[in-house]
Amino acid sequence: MKNFEKTTVAESARVELHDLLHLTGAEISVNSLPAGACVPFVHAHKQNEEIYAVLEGEGKAVIDGETVPLAAGDWLRVAPSAKRQLFAAEKAGIKYLCIQVKANSLEGYTAADALL
């Protein structure tokens, strides 16, 4: 069995990579909202924090009632219990990654987790 997975993502409103890459510690999705659109529900999580990376466009996140402007290049971490909803700007769409990981599960990172 090989030690890696590779996939190619076509343009789509939402692509979840969990099954495509056989992920075991995170869920990653690639998301696109056209101008004026939004995620159609407010949600929170039981255990997972979400990290959003804005790849293109602009919009906003409403988190626990607070509006956070978003633009290409922005990164945003949201705690599991926070109620959130994402919106594209009225005149521009938004494309973003959403990375879900269990909060407080990271024990080592970068050089601390490397085997040399």
Q: Does a structural domain hold residue 91?
A: yes
- For 46-64, letters b (16+ CB in 10 Å) and e give eebbbebbbeebbbbbebe
Q: Answer whether residue 115 is part of any domain.
A: no
Is the confidence at residue 94, as pLDDT, over 80? yes
Does the residue 97 lie in any domain? yes
Render pLDDT for 11-37 as a digit per residue (tens, 0 to 9).
888 888 899 999 999 999 999 999 999
More confidently predicted of 43 and 9: 43
What's the alpha-carbon Rg for the chain, to the nearest Å? 15
Any domain includes 2: no
Predicted TM-score (pTM) of this structure: 0.89
Question: pLDDT digits over 56-88, tens only?
Answer: 999 999 999 999 999 999 999 999 999 999 999
Phi and psi torsions of 89, nearest 5°: -65, 160
CATH code (residue 93): 2.60.120.10
d(CA 70, CA 58): 5
Residues of the domain holding 79: 14-104
Using CA atoms, how far apart are residues 18 and 57, in angstroms rounded to an integer?
25
